[in-house]
Structure 1
Amino acid sequence: MVVDDSAIARGIVTRTLDGEEGIEVVSSVPNGLMALKAIGNHEVDVVVLDIEMPELDGLAALPRLLELRPGVKVIMVSSASQRDADISLKTMTMGAADYVAKPKAGLGGAESFRAELVSKVREHGARDAKTVPARPAPAAVPAPSPPRKLARKLARPEVIAIGSSTGGPQALAEVLRDIDSRLTQPIMVTQHMPATFTGLLAEHMTRYSGRSATEARDGEPLKPGHIYIAPGGKHMLVERRAAGGTIIRLDDGPPENSCKPAVDPMLRSLAKNFKERLLVVILTGMGCDGLKGAEAAIEEGGRVLAQDRASSVVWGMPGAVAQAGICEEILPLQLIGPAIFRIAGGEAK
């Protein structure tokens, strides 16, 4: 489905996509209201959604489209610059799968824009060959297992690992802002996000947290108190050096849980290298990425916290670890930052 108030832009996007083998535009409409009406009448895998439109703009239509057709992939399109972190990260926070910026000169001769859009429609459409039916009957969700009781002596964590997805940018901002400034451990974050946005996310987290946050680079050492964001399109791992110290390794292996970067590879690598001195935090997100990595952390003696259902945008990832019974605590978002400092900021218990 293509949604854009400009008839010219809508026509160019529609013809571009319809001309590609394996892609069919089933609906082309001029605003968000018409998109909401049309999405129930068509099988839609991907929505290309303009942001600035009359009657109902893309920002207002996005959450309603996701509610009407859970699992649909929404690619936001706007005339705003790709470096506009506020707009781009807001849409990603709200559940958009991706974002493409319209060139200032218009779409007519913009081959790079059209190539990028086709590539992203293929990528996101291929992740789910079968469209999720609209308005599915709610499934019963088992209650989470009680928090894990730990009888062993607990080591003070040397590194904090955070995994997040849908709703993650907003949750990350709150958690990182609420961690006491005296915390000295490096913080490693894998947020499901395309390459265009992980650098913007790092800029955003620097502003919100008061700490230095950067997109991780291959070979750089872990520094106290620094926040490392896994770059889009790469898994973020760590490696212990024989001469001492730990460095970041970026891995170009296949996606895991349909994600790249994925949380599981990061957690497995950290568990192997830090063992009982690892604290894992799983925040809001769809799916179960992070579950196997958290289990690996527990096997090595690490500790796991999860966000609770009520404060999560989607309780998939934190719900998976909660229901597996491997969480030490299941907490509302506003208590996670203080809990991190309580566990990692004090002496070993």
Structure 2
Amino acid sequence: MMSYRVMVVDDSAFMRKIISDLIEQEEAFQVQATAKNGREAIEQIVRIQPDLVTMDVEMPEMNGLDALKVIMKEHPLPVIMLSGINEQGMRETIMALESGAFDFIRKPSATTSSHDIEQVGRELREQIHAAMQAKQRRDAWTAAQPSAPVQPSAGKPPAHGAEASGPGGAAAASPAPPAGRALAGGGDSAAARQPLAGSSRPATRLPAANPAAPSVGREAPGRRPAKAPAERARPATRPAQSPVGGAKTAPPARPAPPPLESAAEVAAAREPAGGAAARGRPELRRSSAGFTDLVAIGTSTGGPKALKAVLEKIPGDFPSPIVIVQHMPPNFTKSLAQRLNSLCELNVVEAEEGQELQSGTAYIAPGGFHLNVVPGSAGGYRVHLTKTEPCNGHRPSVDVLYESLLPLQALKRHIVLLTGMGSDGAKVMKRLYDAGVTSTIAESEETCVVFGMPRSAIELKCVSHVLPLYEIGPKLVQVVK
């Protein structure tokens, strides 16, 4: 049996003991060393070279976030964060996921029941297994790639996990796929290889630019234009909160674009290539909020970093709402929304019951609730949150979100699956594809942290576009007209 060497990093000797015991309940995992802060961890990683590290977020001298950035830059390997439930810990956990951490679990406390501690142990061991499998598949995938370096091209963003994606990201960019690749569900289903952000692999140059990718009008690389309040429409229920707790003032709503004038224009706007009008689909209807399109995104492991990469490439005047399910516990989704809102031109909020959907806004399902999109007042659409049973082991579930879109045939629906373990979202994406939605997009293997959810959809032959992460935002700008 293959065994894996693990390092446990925590400033509490008591917690180091608990975490070590939980890990070693699996014979394949051996805790080779422990460290009491990030600085000590970095020193030991050089000497011991573990296969994986569990890292506490809040520690003295050097905290987990700062240590992670150094590890991802100098000694990339899978890191699982252990996060407390206070606000600072949740915020720093989201930043750690952006910086290349594989995933996180909620850290048990001294008062946590034995049943809950065992649950933490099961989740931790499952994540270690997933991280090791992903690393093996990434190594296999990398070994199968051509060794010749790809020539750089100005303006091309690096792949998921590349250094430019954020402080401490892995320095190597993934090779680019053929530009404009589109599949009707095609893909290498036999190769269950799962790339891992932060895994060691030979460095390549940045991939060549995709000439088909539309410009989203950004300024110089590394800089983001300030949000234009006059062009933003925010949900009426409450203003979004900034990451430091200050309320943003709700600007006036953006005027609705002119309505479509003829059945021919409706059909042309609805049908990018396939001729759904000939298949008897209902006529497109503009919502009372002035949009005709709706984007739905599902993701899990690796999702925070992937969402950042996608949403940063979408302008603030995007003429569609975006609804998102990220597998994440309660409260962490609020920190995720605040973080993304501070980085993107889009307005990003944690969804609330009854919110009317607005263009230029992304709504993240709150942890512990399923997010449904339902018809609202006066021809609009709104958020409906439920606490029904978990689906595919998750609440929120991507399948539940996607299923709520099936009756909304008056909208052009664009369905996206990003990195994640398991298959949540794939089955209902297939139903939506068969029902004739406008577009279905899956993240390609080379940029996935875990190529599970996208691969499941590809194998069901319900994906019209398989794209690396850095092309998904521009593709959405292109297809949402």
The 5 A counterparts of 1:298-313 are: 298-302=433-437, 303-313=439-449
Confirm or deny: 8 A CA contact 1:311 1:333 kept in the other structure: yes
Change (3 A) 1:117 1:225: same
Change (3 A) 1:84 1:342: same
Q: 1:183 aligns with which of 307, 314, 318?
A: 318
Q: What is the deviation of 1:325? A: 2.5
Aligned match of 1:104: none
Change (3 A) 1:269 1:27: same
User: CA offsets per residue over residues 115-146 of structure 1, 9 Å max, x none?
Assistant: 89737616726979x967967975999xxx96
**Are 2:13 and 1:10 aligned?**
yes
Instruction: Please report the TM-score for the alignment, with normalisation by the length of structure 2.
Output: 0.54
Confirm or deny: 8 A CA contact 2:347 2:361 kept in the other structure: yes
Aligned match of 1:210: 345
Return the letter of the residue paired with 2:304: P
Aligned match of 1:30: 34
Aligned match of 2:471: 335
User: CA offsets per residue over residues 263-286 of structure 1, 9 Å max, x none?
Assistant: 111011112224662111111222
Q: What is the deviation of 1:152? A: 1.6
Q: What is the deviation of 1:50? A: 2.2
Q: What is the deviation of 1:18? A: 7.0
Q: 1:147 aligns with which of 162, 165, 183?
A: 183
Name the SS of the counterpart of 2:315 in structure 1: coil
Number of positions where the alignment pairs a residue of Structure 1 with one of Structure 2: 318
Change (3 A) 1:157 1:37: farther
Name the SS of the counterpart of 2:55 in structure 1: strand
Q: Return the alpha-carbon distance in structure 1 between the equivalents of residues 309 and 475 of structure 2.
A: 13
Change (3 A) 1:37 1:331: same
The 5 A counterparts of 1:311-330 are: 311-330=447-466
Question: How well do the aligned residues superpose, as a CA RMSD in angstroms?
Answer: 4.3
Q: What is the deviation of 1:11? A: 2.1
Q: 1:50 aligns with which of 56, 72, 75?
A: 56
Q: What is the deviation of 1:63? A: 6.6
Q: Return the alpha-carbon distance in structure 2 between the equivalents of residues 224 and 55 of structure 1.
A: 42
Q: 2:416 aligns with which of 281, 306, 317?
A: 281
Q: 2:77 aligns with which of 55, 64, 69?
A: 64
Confirm or deny: 8 A CA contact 1:17 1:23 kept in the other structure: no
Aligned match of 2:299: 164
Q: What is the deviation of 1:175? A: 1.3
Structure with max Cα Rg? 2
Q: Return the alpha-carbon distance in structure 2 between the equivalents of residues 201 and 232 of structure 1.
A: 11
Return the letter of the residue paired with 2:323: M
Aligned match of 1:88: 93
Confirm or deny: 8 A CA contact 1:100 1:117 kept in the other structure: no
Moved more, 228-237 or 90-99: 90-99
Aligned match of 1:69: none
Q: Return the alpha-carbon distance in structure 2 between the equivalents of residues 306 and 16 of structure 1.
A: 35
Confirm or deny: 8 A CA contact 1:83 1:200 kept in the other structure: no
User: CA offsets per residue over residues 81-125 of structure 1, 9 Å max, x none?
Assistant: 533565211333422232449xxxxx7xx637x789737616726
The 5 A counterparts of 1:257-268 are: 257-268=392-403
Aligned match of 2:309: 174
Q: Return the alpha-carbon distance in structure 2 between the equivalents of residues 86 and 133 of structure 1.
A: 23
User: CA offsets per residue over residues 282-315 of structure 1, 9 Å max, x none?
Assistant: 1122222221121122122212012222222222
Q: Return the alpha-carbon distance in structure 1 between the equivalents of residues 131 and 447 of structure 2.
A: 26
Identify unmatched segments of 5+ residues in structure 1: 67-73, 102-106
